[in-house]
Amino acid sequence: MRRAALAAVIILLIVAAAAALAACDGLETVLIPGRAEAADIAEQVVRIHIRANSNSAEDQSVKLAVRDEVTAYLTSALEGCRSKSDALDSLAAEKENLRAIAQSVLDAHGYDYKAAVELKKESFPDREYDGCFFPAGVYDALMIYLGEGEGDNWWCVAFPPLCFVPDADGEQIVYASWVKELIDKIFS
């Protein structure tokens, strides 16, 4: 019985690894640490960062509430984007709407600080997102600052859509790591 359980876990891990690699298929370059092509990734993507007011539990919690509303909105706003240029144009046009969404979440949760949105080039260190490696460099980024914006941030890739991927029916959904959830469930 133990061998069957171990074999099942190994098979699930192999499937999970394959799914994590498949999540990166939307990029022109597979992002694997050490690959020469990874240096060009900054020219292919637009990042999104939401910086919390502080690292207090409350500020971090409201940051995630803002993330949920912003990603839900961007799912449809970026739906027709076929290039990085399209995505940047759409994000520039949506800046005030995104600020208003973030501010609405802050207000609904009783915060008196403000939300601000910028679309700019920013330098980031090496990072990995759901099995995809993003080398240090200067990236185009949508930055959402909550209050002082001095807390830890949530980040993802807005284009190509690693945060917002279509489901089987073609509708847009917010990306969630079912692989991590499955592994957590197996080992908890």
Span 54-97, pLDDT tens digits: 999 999 999 999 999 999 999 888 888 889 999 999 999 999 99
Question: Is pTM, for the whole model, over 0.85?
Answer: no
Span 104-149, pLDDT tens digits: 999 999 999 999 999 999 888 888 766 777 888 899 999 999 999 9
> Residue 52 burial (CB < 10 Å; 0-12/13-18/19+)?
buried
φ, ψ of residue 154 to 5 degrees: the values are -100, 140
- Distances in Å between the Cα of 58 and the Cα atoms of 62, 67, 70 are 6, 14, 18
